[in-house]
Each structure stands twice: as structure tokens, then as C-alpha cells.
Amino acid sequence: MMASFWPTPAAAEQFPAVAKQMTRLQKVVFLEDAGKGDLEQHEAREEQPGDGDPEMKSEPGEQMVVMGSGTIASQLAQADLIDEYQLVVIPVVLGEGTTMFEGSKRKLPLTLIRSRTFRNGSVPVYQPKD
């Protein structure tokens, strides 16, 4: 979905700053079809999230961000590789869907460190409790 939207003229017109960043920043893709699409700066990974990612986390460069994948976030959380959770909360009850941390095997206690409120929802930011 990202590869089919962010490099397009529609994305550049609707969300110019986000589209520029989404196509410019380095990306790691854990999907079978990682080689497909037109996103610049992406690297296909053979291993699953959490298998070898401590090395990725310690590499120099910008912070890593996981966008829109509860499954990957869950795998990274279970391996204690997430320093901060920024959850976009839009108050709409859909009635069905996927659990945010699908497959979590243990409790992940979090501490609220800050929150931002927007017209359509909020973004609470949490850190794992030690």
C-alpha cells in the first residue's frame, strides 16, 4: 500500500511533507514481495522482525519507526526492541478488526510519557516500564 501511494503525484499534492519523507527515508521491508513497488531507499530482509534486529537498532542513523503493523510491532516488543510507543487513537468503534499486538505472548507494562490531542483523535506516547 505504501509503495503504491507515497511516490504518486496525488500523495505529493495531498501530503507534500509526508510524501517527501516517505519516499526519501531508508525503509526495511519484511514482506515476501519486498522487491516490488517504487519506494526509494528500501531494503528487503530475509529474517523475521526480532531475529537479528538488535544489530539494526544499534546501527548509527535516524530512529527506526514501525508504521501500521501490529504484527511486526508485537514481534519487536516481545524481543524488547521498542523504546517508545506512539499510538494514534481515533475514537471510532469499528466492531471488528485485528488486535493491535497480535500474537503477544506476555504482558507489556507501559508508562505514559506525553500525549498530543488533535481534532480527530490523540497520540499518547508510552515507554516500556523497566
Instruction: Please tell me the predicted confidence (pLDDT) of residue 73.
Output: 79
Q: Is the pLDDT of residue 64 over 80?
A: no
Bigger pLDDT: 45 vs 15: 15
Least confident residue range of 3-17, 80-94, 105-119: 80-94
Bigger pLDDT: 90 vs 70: 90
Q: What percent of the chain is predicted at pLDDT more than 70?
A: 71
Least confident residue range of 8-17, 62-71, 84-93: 62-71
Do residues 85 and 110 touch, judged by C-beta distance below 8 A?
A: yes
> CATH assignment of 68-130?
3.40.430.10
Average pLDDT for 31-48: 51
E-assigned strand segments in 11-109: 27-29, 42-44, 85-86
Instruction: Please tell me the predicted confidence (pLDDT) of residue 45.
Output: 53
- Measured CA to CA, the distance from residue 53 to residue 76 in angstroms comes to 8
CB 66: neighbour CB atoms within 10 A? 20
Least confident residue range of 30-34, 64-68, 75-79, 82-86: 30-34
Average pLDDT for 105-118: 88
Q: Is the pLDDT of residue 17 over 70?
A: yes
